[in-house]
Structure 1
Amino acid sequence: MSERYVVVDIETTGNSAKDGTDRITQFAAVVIEHNEITEIFSTFVNPDRDIPPFIVELTGISRELVQHAPRFRDVAPMIVELLQDSCFVAHNVHFDWNFLQEELRQAGLPQLDCPNLDTVELARILLPTAESHKLGDLAKVFALEHDQPHRADSDAMVTAQLLMELQEKLSRLPLQALQAMYELSHGFKSDIGRLLSPHIMKKLQSGKEEEDWDVFRSLALRTRSYRVQMDQQEPLSFEEAIHHVETVLRHRPGYEKREGQEQMIQEVYHALAENRYSLIEAGTGVGKTLAYLLPALVFSKEKSVPVVVSTHTVQLQQQVIDKEIPLLQRLLPFTFEVSLLKGRKHYICLHKFEQALREEDHNYDSILTKAKIVVWLLETETGDVDELNLPSGGRLLWERICCDQSSRSKQNPWSSRCFYERAKHRALFADLVITNHTLLLQDLQQEESLLASCEHVILDEAHHIEETASQSLGRQFSCMQFQLLLSRIGTLDTNEVLFHVYELAKEYGISEGRSFRLLHRLLKELKLESDELFRMLRAYIFERSRGGGVEGNVRLLYRYEAGRERGRLWRAIQESASRVSALYDRLLPLLNEAVQELHRHPYCTGLLVAGEFRRLVGALQQSQENLTRLLLEQQEGSITWMETEAKGTIHTTVLYAQPADVSEKLADQLFARKKSVILTSATLTVHDSFQYMIDSLGLTDFHPSTLSVASPFAYEKQVKLMIPTDLPHVKRVSAEEYAAAVAEQLARIATVTGGRMLVLFTSYDMLRRTHAVMKEREELAEFALLAQGVNSGSRTRITKHFRQFDKAILFGTNSFWEGVDIPGEDLSCLIMVRLPFAPPDHPLAAAKAALAERQGKNPFLEVSLPQAIIRFKQGFGRLIRTKQDSGTFFVLDRRITNSFYGKRFVESIPKVPLYEKPLEELLKLLQET
């Protein structure tokens, strides 16, 4: 391209350029013309001030290194000349641009006047699936040499090379994608439109048809693959297939035969072939995933029937597809088809996206997301949002453009290219269908079930089935979600959906203004009345849970029964709920009438705002139905409770209804409809028995076979279990005193182990208190303290940050007890603050205990304790992930040795050396070994 680009990077004494607070210590520039590097300039700069120690450590630029370098005012004229008639480029351009402008001002030189280009923004658009857009991570993507990160000369060169790589990618994009991005470029933060123009002109001048893409209605997609692999040979028998795989594996370096894995492979195959139900507990390191996928595929090909594999989460689904399936494709002597099936909202609706591109948009995250999707559509085969790295506000746009029931409309011109329908179609012809527990259980309740014909199912992470079924079979009403729905619909006073629908109606003469004015008034009344209801609900929870004196933003819970509550406030709540319901009964016909009128009008059918209005009305209707049932009707067979945040707003209240016992429904709706079901997990037994899981999942009448496969790890050599005896009893001190005592022990352990610690809590409030105390401790100044719910980011992101620091402590609760995989030296110390009993006052836990008591069982021994032991085993499993790992497991809860049930926890994990002493003695022992 003919544009001259000057790629700049600077190092500074800090982040504040204003009034000379911080100064430049190094300036580097790389000039690019005709997509080639033509000039390189670099110089250190004397900042005339001290350089903070952390900057010296980060950049390697010390006071001694720059003391004889020129001052900025001496090199400023050269920099100005270098940048003349050029486009200023940097990675995170606004930092470098603003800092340089301030330095020029202080040097008495005029401000720069040239376009600027941000390679962060450009990379976010052109690399829509990249996990990170940091310079170092992008350098790895393109295999660029980056030997001195955080030095201006190295960073500028890598940024220049990155720009050329991104330019090269732009040159390969179809005209339609370039034009779509150019239309959006008015909303970008840097001058990307200037970069796009030459590429568009070149494409237009060439006049070539875009043959490599599927171009339809001004959008370009990746050309659809119609590949279906057909086997020419007879399927191998199970024994022949296993022999072939073993032969291939024996010739691989590092191959090690796993007896446990072979045992599980045999059980899975024969359970499928004999139409049996089977529970298999497979310890860490067995190779569980491969041990069920391999026999499932052999069985599927042999019998020409599909097998469904269900995981607990969408992330685990993706892991199976990305990691295990490619390995099996290399190992097995036959081809096979695998389908990944997720919920409808995971897939983009191309019709809605087409309309979204035509909208006037001034929201940066929304515009950026649209540009990313334009590029992503050239790459994706699935249309699955999990491939995308969306900006924080991009999720709001996705909610509007994802598939829903309306995407199936006959008027949808994109129906032949629908990603969701394509995923369903693949599932019909697949040998293996990979799905998740939530979708599997929801599918059972659908009239048009996708998976009903699949009679063989493997449930991985099966200890989650009961919890998932309880949620799937229950109801929920969120005050926040209701508020967001009302806000998104809006009124005629706002620029939200109702306003745009009204403008459409006026433009096409669809409806009279009177009905819209009535809608406007009723929506305002509904907002006022529902807010009053939410205020009373929050007050009721505080009153009944005695939450007035709580500290911190904890969740307050109260179990209620709509038909049995008493008192003036409850009567007021039900009266208000009745008024809300009556208002909605008046609103619904008007809303539906507006939806139908828009749907009938040919000019409005395909408009995104019309489709979104229909979706919002449907969601509001479902939300209102849930509210009415939860507050005005007794929920027989379900436990109802309400929650709110102690320091939250009136909209943080949520109402729940869930069945306490799902065993009968699972038996009737899942197990009775399948020929064979295999349930597997690392944690299915309690005290060497599967009975708790068999009872809670309703498997008794199916007489399942059971198999426990031990882990191949030498835990007695790899792990030490340590129990300090000098921590105060949690019930004998205040929450603050206990948190301080825990923090004291954690700090002492950290100084000896050097960090690499995962600390598991059962309560977010205790986590928050302990983290706050530890932040103030001077001896931990060198440690990175990362805490779930305190530091922003997902579990995956926090775990990734943890692995990047030499000295780090990770505080986790809930999801960190399982599914976190930190092998090797990255994790050498696991600390469990409390034994993981469910809070006895949690409504669902209390209901399960009451049900057990009515059945003549001991609620603690037969419900609470088994659940805690399964969770304890999951937590323990975080420490040792490979045969080379070693570590220390601290349990700070003395109940593990001084209660009558404590030994059951110890016996539930592999046999390891146990030490119970004051912490100081344990730490000495740790240092000696």
Structure 2
Amino acid sequence: MSASDTVETHGPAPAEPGNGPAALVAGRGQALWLSSDGEVELLGPREAAERAAAEPPLLCHAPATARRLGLERLAGYDLLELFAFVRPAAFCAPTPRGLALSLGLAPPHSLDERALTLGLAADQLLREMAARGFEDPAARGIAFTMTRGGWLWGPPLLRALGTGATAAEAGEAPRAGQGYAVWERMAEWSEHAPPSQPSALPVEPAAARRRLAELVGEEAEVRPQQADYAEAIARAFAPREREGAPNLVLAEAGTGVGKTLGYIAPASLWAEQNEGAVWLSTYTRNLQRQIDDELARLYPQPAEKRRRVVVRKGRENYFCLLNYAEQARSVALKGGETAIGLGLMARWAGATRDGDMVGGDFPGWLADLIGRGRSLGLTDRRGECVFSACEFYRKCFIEKSVRRARQARMVVANHALVLIQAALGGDEDGQVPAEIVFDEGHHLFDAADGAFAAHLSGLEATELRRWLLGAEGRRSASASRLRGLKRRLEDLAAGDPAIEEALDEALRAARVLPGEGWHQRLANGNGQGPTEAFLARVRQQVLARARQAGEGYSLECETAAPVEGLLAAAAALDEALERLEAPLASLRKRLLAKLDQEAETLEGELRRRIDGAARSLEKRALLPVGAWRGMLRSLEEETPPSFVDWFAVERIEGREIDVGFRRHWLDPSEPLARAVLSRVQGAVVTSATLTDRSENPEADWRTAEQRAGVPYLAAPALRVRVDSPFDYPALTRVFVVTDVRKDDMDQVAAAFRELFLAAGGGGLGLFTAISRLKAVHGRIAKPLAERGLDLFAQHLDGLDVSTLVEIFRAEPDSCLLGTDAVRDGVDVPGRALRLIVFDRVPWPRPSLIHKARRSEAGGRGYDDRLTRLKLRQAFGRLVRRADDRGVFVLLDPMMPSRLATAFPEGVPFARVGLAEAIAATAAFLAPQDG
């Protein structure tokens, strides 16, 4: 090892009691400092920052700690960085208590116990690393390079690994950059013959019951509702009688029935008997992970589970080796935070199960620690994959996932992927699943609404331009990954004049699309080209007519009576898009012709790449451009009756982010039925809240059938309802507070504060607007902290929703504020969630698409159904197991009585004053004797 590569390792040693760094934990607006000698001090934010700059302390999640103290940055030995290095791709809630639970330490309660836990966790992790010896050779090189980059944990880690200035005595001395080439340690995927057509043997109801009994085990609690549910679901796994008439089961299963294992039982039998795959589709990533965990009961051996179960998501969710390599290859020269961040990514990439960075085994908090550019920015979010032209193609996580799915029996996917692939004619192989289970079926309508919509907007058009043209001369590291169509197809086009000509013509025509800086040019009235000219007129019409102007929210208006110049701009853009569409269509046609004309000589991998390129052209370019042209032409005529058109200016906190022309299906269940359900043998649409709970059960089922697309199918659906086994009247209470003005944020905040205190934590606050959430958070965070309750918040803590939920689950006396995404993503059994407070009745937002659907569906009743669904979903978070207890509070005296049917029959429901609600909450949630 040269002198320039020597790393001194005599820095702080957290593993040595009395000789390590201090520990710092943050409350709201103050910090506790625990010195290495055991002295405890309470510090203000500025003093904590000065102390940390002079003497870096142990801490947990430096960015979050800084935010809680009102600081921009805080240096220290972050335990989460050490955890990510020692236990890559492992779970840990990003708090001292979460660390303790993951490491088997006693969970802390007070601030000083949390500080002590940091030292114990550091000691255990370093000892764990040392115990591995040289079983993890990549760790030494990565730690060495990260230390050169200034990583505080580097010296103690190198000591633990037996590596220091005299590293040669312990073996080969590490080199800068060593270990970052994770691809060198990865196995290549192997190709298999395409799967055969599955058989069509039915699943007998009695067999489904037996399989369920095997899955739950002899020691499990007897749940007859679950067995009834599994037997009913088996009806979907029978061969259909005629084309376009799937065996569709609509199944509502109350919370506690155990629907996941209930549908896995018949699904697994069908997959085994027929040697095919069943797709299990969810709306949220949390449930996707839960289903994957439950499938361990079916395949207890990890190796077999890996063969039989695969989690599928869109390509944009996976770690891209090529993107990573472009940064990692020069990491020895870059140093600093780049070396540290990429080192932690190298550790994760070497340990991950499947490279899934969004809801897989990638810790959501890691992106917050090292920056999104060095983490989530390494995914292929813009579709620039070069497929088999990539040097890492044979080791690609995405390609491995696709190939594993061909051989799998259970494919755990999400609604968006299933619907989009079905709309495009199947997956990469053109295969459509024979059997699909749609869990969280109440979201299927919304998923279809997004999947089958068309948006002609600045962001969408700019993304298409990037996909076609690439980086366009930019020199940044991220720009180098913007690989245009020419680079992706250049070797396929070489030697074929027709393909080369079509490609060149398409790239010239692509400049009609807006380039970087389009939004600023629109704001300044300097739009360039036909797309920006059209969007400028759209923006003008929205700003002139939208009623919400000045409130900071997104704006929209109807397309009728267009402003002067808009129709001319639309016609000019249509002509320009036609000049783009023609060569793109020719290019796709030539690629498919190449498959036909050179069938005898093309190798399998090259055939797949050509076919993939043709499919990408269809999906990424021809379909949207064709939809845009149809929308533009309709401006001079009428919107087709099946669609709703409108103009929009999208805003986030008052800042404009997009301008565009939107088209949605009036009833997206129509394309759902025709493109997806009519093509499968059987399907299950299931949820705990599939139907409304009005006073007309038959009407409730008809509405559920309409939202699932049943009227567009050639056969009726089987209706199934299995009620929850929970005793909701004994376990829950519902209060509507009548004396808090919902438009007075001081009163609303005071209600949240006192209710959270009455429950002793475990409170989830749900809001109908981000602005209201922020207003309450600013008023109650400090008072709650002074009473020992931690408060976390979506949109304010800088963490993704799944990480916030994990923190909330790990900290049983904390409270969490959030919006719809939190309501849908929370699964917190036990006392960690014992109180839900809704800021007001969650009426649907009065958008133009809602107005059209409301008119079609019958007016006020449509609003009521959607609102009851949100209330039912929120209430359903309270009780997840038989010994849970919970209180639901709505701070809205204007709640109509007809919405009360959203809650289970018999649940005590009372309209009370705030003082009474606080007292009743405290009494009901007080610890039970025995």
Output the TM-score relative to the length of structure 1.
Answer: 0.71
Amino acid of the residue matched to residue 8 of structure 1? P
1:397-452: CA deviation from partner (whole Å, max 9, x where unpaired): 65555498765644444433333233222222222222111111111122453574
Matched, 1:171 2:134: yes
Contact preservation (8 Å) 1:491, 1:524 = no
C-alpha distance in 2, partners of 1:117/1:746? 35
Contact preservation (8 Å) 2:182, 2:346 = no
Q: Cα distance, 1:262 vs. partner?
A: 0.8
Equivalent pairs counted in the alignment come to 793
Matched, 1:834 2:845: no
C-alpha distance in 2, partners of 1:301/1:583? 51
C-alpha distance in 1, partners of 2:784/2:378? 49
Q: Cα distance, 1:752 vs. partner?
A: 3.3
1:432 is aligned, of 407, 410, 415, to 410
Where does residue 903 of structure 1 map in the other structure?
Answer: 898
1:641-674: CA deviation from partner (whole Å, max 9, x where unpaired): 3133275444344553221212322221122111
C-alpha distance in 2, partners of 1:271/1:29? 58
Where does residue 253 of structure 2 map in the other structure?
Answer: 282
C-alpha distance in 2, partners of 1:44/1:409? 48
Contact preservation (8 Å) 1:526, 1:584 = no
Classify the secondary structure of the residue corresponding to 2:350: coil
Q: Cα distance, 1:890 vs. partner?
A: 1.8
State the structure with bigger RCO (CA 8 A, min sep 6), 1 or 2: 2
2:454 is aligned, of 462, 469, 475, to 475
1:702 is aligned, of 715, 720, 724, to 715
Where does residue 860 of structure 2 map in the other structure?
Answer: 860
Given the superposition, is the C-alpha separation of residues 720 and 143 from structure 1 closer, same or farther in structure 2, using an over 3 Å criterion? closer
Matched, 1:566 2:579: no
Given the superposition, is the C-alpha separation of residues 59 and 627 from structure 1 closer, same or farther in structure 2, using an over 3 Å criterion? farther
Q: Which runs of 5+ in 2 are unaligned?
A: 43-53, 63-75, 194-200, 241-246, 488-493, 495-499, 589-605, 607-612, 925-930
Amino acid of the residue matched to residue 917 of structure 1? V
2:263 is aligned, of 273, 292, 311, to 292
Amino acid of the residue matched to residue 272 of structure 2? K
Instruction: Map 1:132-531 onto structure 2 (within 5 A).
Output: 132=92, 141=102, 143=104, 159-167=122-130, 169=132, 171-174=134-137, 187=149, 189-190=151-152, 192=154, 195=158, 219-221=184-186, 239=206, 242-243=209-210, 246=213, 251-252=218-219, 255-273=220-238, 275=240, 276-321=247-292, 323-330=293-300, 337-359=308-330, 362=334, 367-385=339-357, 386-389=360-363, 390-392=366-368, 393-395=371-373, 398-399=376-377, 402=380, 407=385, 409-447=387-425, 449=427, 450=429, 452-477=431-456, 479=458, 492=473, 495=476, 497=479, 527=517, 529=521
153-162 vs 271-280, greater mean Cα deviation: 153-162
Contact preservation (8 Å) 1:554, 1:765 = no
Given the superposition, is the C-alpha separation of residues 191 and 580 from structure 1 closer, same or farther in structure 2, using an over 3 Å criterion? farther
Where does residue 851 of structure 1 map in the other structure?
Answer: 856
C-alpha distance in 2, partners of 1:621/1:199? 61
Amino acid of the residue matched to residue 816 of structure 2? L
Contact preservation (8 Å) 2:278, 2:435 = yes
Output the TM-score relative to the length of structure 2.
Answer: 0.71
Contact preservation (8 Å) 2:97, 2:810 = no
Contact preservation (8 Å) 1:265, 1:294 = yes
C-alpha distance in 2, partners of 1:903/1:772? 34
Contact preservation (8 Å) 1:311, 1:435 = yes
Classify the secondary structure of the residue corresponding to 1:685: coil
Q: Cα distance, 1:472 vs. partner?
A: 0.6
Q: Which runs of 5+ in 1 are unaligned?
A: 10-27, 31-39, 46-50, 67-79, 81-87, 96-115, 208-213, 229-233, 593-604, 606-611, 853-857
Classify the secondary structure of the residue corresponding to 1:640: strand
1:98-152: CA deviation from partner (whole Å, max 9, x where unpaired): xxxxxxxxxxxxxxxxxx9987655544543245576775566555789996698
Where does residue 831 of structure 2 map in the other structure?
Answer: 825
C-alpha distance in 2, partners of 1:180/1:774? 43
Q: Cα distance, 1:588 vs. partner?
A: 10
C-alpha distance in 2, partners of 1:173/1:139? 24
Q: Cα distance, 1:889 vs. partner?
A: 1.8
Where does residue 544 of structure 1 map in the other structure?
Answer: 545
C-alpha distance in 2, partners of 1:786/1:215? 35
C-alpha distance in 2, partners of 1:577/1:458? 42
1:690 is aligned, of 673, 692, 701, to 701
Given the superposition, is the C-alpha separation of residues 876 and 329 from structure 1 closer, same or farther in structure 2, using an over 3 Å criterion? same
Where does residue 198 of structure 2 map in the other structure?
Answer: none
Where does residue 733 of structure 2 map in the other structure?
Answer: 720
C-alpha distance in 1, partners of 2:761/2:107? 29
1:370-411: CA deviation from partner (whole Å, max 9, x where unpaired): 333433343234232232234243456655554987656444
Classify the secondary structure of the residue corresponding to 1:826: coil
Amino acid of the residue matched to residue 856 of structure 2? L
Q: Cα distance, 1:879 vs. partner?
A: 1.3
C-alpha distance in 2, partners of 1:793/1:319? 21
Identity %: 21
Contact preservation (8 Å) 2:255, 2:876 = yes
Contact preservation (8 Å) 2:435, 2:682 = yes
Q: Cα distance, 1:711 vs. partner?
A: 0.5
Given the superposition, is the C-alpha separation of residues 580 and 244 from structure 1 closer, same or farther in structure 2, using an over 3 Å criterion? closer
Amino acid of the residue matched to residue 656 of structure 1? R
C-alpha distance in 2, partners of 1:757/1:203? 53
Classify the secondary structure of the residue corresponding to 1:219: helix
C-alpha distance in 2, partners of 1:522/1:570? 17
Contact preservation (8 Å) 1:540, 1:569 = no
Contact preservation (8 Å) 2:844, 2:867 = yes
C-alpha distance in 2, partners of 1:428/1:703? 31
Q: Cα distance, 1:215 vs. partner?
A: 13
Q: Cα distance, 1:530 vs. partner?
A: 5.4
Given the superposition, is the C-alpha separation of residues 166 and 668 from structure 1 closer, same or farther in structure 2, using an over 3 Å criterion? same
1:555-613: CA deviation from partner (whole Å, max 9, x where unpaired): 33x1332xx34224756975996899799999999x99xxxxxxxxxxxx9xxxxxx9x
Matched, 1:792 2:780: no
C-alpha distance in 1, partners of 2:859/2:114? 63
C-alpha distance in 2, partners of 1:616/1:367? 37
Q: Cα distance, 1:843 vs. partner?
A: 1.9
Contact preservation (8 Å) 2:465, 2:514 = no
Contact preservation (8 Å) 1:758, 1:831 = yes
Amino acid of the residue matched to residue 272 of structure 1? F
Classify the secondary structure of the residue corresponding to 1:391: helix
Q: Cα distance, 1:800 vs. partner?
A: 3.7
C-alpha distance in 2, partners of 1:304/1:919? 59
C-alpha distance in 1, partners of 2:342/2:375? 8
Given the superposition, is the C-alpha separation of residues 41 and 220 from structure 1 closer, same or farther in structure 2, using an over 3 Å criterion? same
Q: Cα distance, 1:792 vs. partner?
A: 2.3
Matched, 1:128 2:98: no
Contact preservation (8 Å) 1:342, 1:439 = yes
Instruction: Map 1:765-776 onto structure 2 (within 5 A).
Output: 765-774=771-780
Amino acid of the residue matched to residue 848 of structure 2? P
